[in-house]
Amino acid sequence: MNATALGDIRPCLEGAIPAVMATCAADGMPNVAYISQVYYADERHVALSFQFFNKTRQNILANPRATVLVIHPQTAAYYRLHIRYLRTETEGPLFEGMKAQLAGIASHTGMQGVFRLLGSDVYEVERIEALEGEPLPGPPPRSGMLTAVRRCSERLARCASLDEALNAVLATLSDFMGVQHAMVLMLDSAAQRLYTVASCGYATSGVGSEVGMGQGVIGVAAREKTPVRITHMTNAYLYSQAMRSSFEANVPDLEAVTEIPYPGLAEPRSQLAVPVLSAGRLLGVLFAESPNDLQFGFEDEDMLVAMAGHLGAAIDLMQASTESPEAAAPAERPPAAAGAPLHVRHFAANDSVFLDDGYLIKGVAGAILWKLLKDFVRHGRTEFSNRELRLDTSIRLPDVTDNLEARLVLLRRRLAEHGPNLRIEKTGRGRFRLVVLRPVVLDETP
């Protein structure tokens, strides 16, 4: 029989049934303890949750050899891991991934407030024994995961715009993985916040809503550039939007008014956030959630990481190609603006833009819209390119790595949700058109 590999026993490492561990003190007295978490770190390492300063802790610091017994939660097959303590991590990706899983385990077992991760004890796995026994038949292997990766890859390969790529990823999640609620957020590297550019399955799209770095599973996945998965309802990671109040009665409180509500579930029971990376840089976060417990296993995590990798590469390629626009298409005669004027108000303080007193957008996307409208009013221009936006200092794009295309997707989607009178239409790679159906009156507030 082939040796059992750590990857073969991942179902045992999901925390469904606690593991037990034997250590040995310097004086030769053995010790046995329950371990809430035996976490799959990589193919040769596990990390155990260090929650209490106890005998196990004393023992492994004095004698690094330990033996762990795990059990398959469906078949009851036993495996023994012979491990050797290497180090303890108290921050970073591994720690945060374990902390999230432990929060779910604590919640599931009624141990909130008792289970608290002090550190991730990393062990090298020297040997795995598959024990004899009379296990139950295993569940049939989950099929279709590779097909889902294939479909996602195919769909992304056909995409010519960021809009399409975002839709392709969300469609794959719902078509092949049964994910009902998902969103994609992009990083605003200057503000160190994430903004929603696409979502599916929510009452409101939430496009434009923001999450801070480190806030909830999305913010932790972004900050640590690591997947964060919660398999049971827990309060530890609930996203809460701080209430804000206006201090000045005569001017709108821009912070409060410009808050687009986060669209996520009020009581999620499973959540999975994976970073979207390219060339080691964080671009954003792909996030899925469910109102049911135990919705996302390690295979779902693997799958989302693979999809996020494809998405990251696609986003970077599109960014590069849209910076060198193709030749301008012949301009169509824009429809004449008619009807009552549309009042557009711009607050320079945070580049927020209001349409007829309704909040639309702020920040870079707000600055872009203001530039487009000024050019339209002053010069009658309707055709624009990404390249000129990039070069326009009034927009103050944070830096060259900032994803301009994502800002335009955000602006386009916010405008579309606001009505038909003011739109942005793509006209080609790196080119777009401003469509204005009502006369506009611009009002600048410094």
Q: Which residues bind another protein (CB under 8 A)?
A: 17, 20-25, 27-34, 51-52, 54-55, 63, 65-69, 71, 73-76, 78, 80, 82, 109, 111, 114-115, 131-136
Q: Least distance (Å) from another protein to the CB of residue 407?
A: 47
Which of residues 74 and 401 has its CB atom nearest to another protein in the complex?
Answer: 74
Which of residues 5 and 17 has its CB atom nearest to another protein in the complex?
Answer: 17
Q: What is the side-by-side order of every strand in the sheet holding 358-361?
A: 358-361, 352-355, 342-347, 440-445
Q: Least distance (Å) from another protein to the CB of residue 420?
A: 53
Q: Helices 162-176 and 298-322 sit at what angle, rounded to 10 degrees? A: 160
Q: Least distance (Å) from another protein to the CB of residue 142?
A: 20
* Residue 297 near residue 14, CB atoms below 8 Å: yes
* Residue 207 near residue 414, CB atoms below 8 Å: yes
Q: Least distance (Å) from another protein to the CB of residue 256?
A: 42
Q: Least distance (Å) from another protein to the CB of residue 118?
A: 13
Which of residues 75 and 321 has its CB atom nearest to another protein in the complex?
Answer: 75
Which of residues 126 and 388 has its CB atom nearest to another protein in the complex?
Answer: 126
Q: Least distance (Å) from another protein to the CB of residue 48?
A: 14
In whole angstroms, give the CA distance from residue 217 to residue 229.
8
Which of residues 236 and 416 has its CB atom nearest to another protein in the complex?
Answer: 236
Which of residues 28 and 335 has its CB atom nearest to another protein in the complex?
Answer: 28
Which of residues 105 and 170 has its CB atom nearest to another protein in the complex?
Answer: 105
Q: Is 279 exposed, middle or buried (0-12, 13-18, 19+ CB in 10 A)?
A: exposed
Side chain identity, residue 287: F
Q: Least distance (Å) from another protein to the CB of residue 47?
A: 19
Which of residues 34 and 247 has its CB atom nearest to another protein in the complex?
Answer: 34
Q: Least distance (Å) from another protein to the CB of residue 397?
A: 51
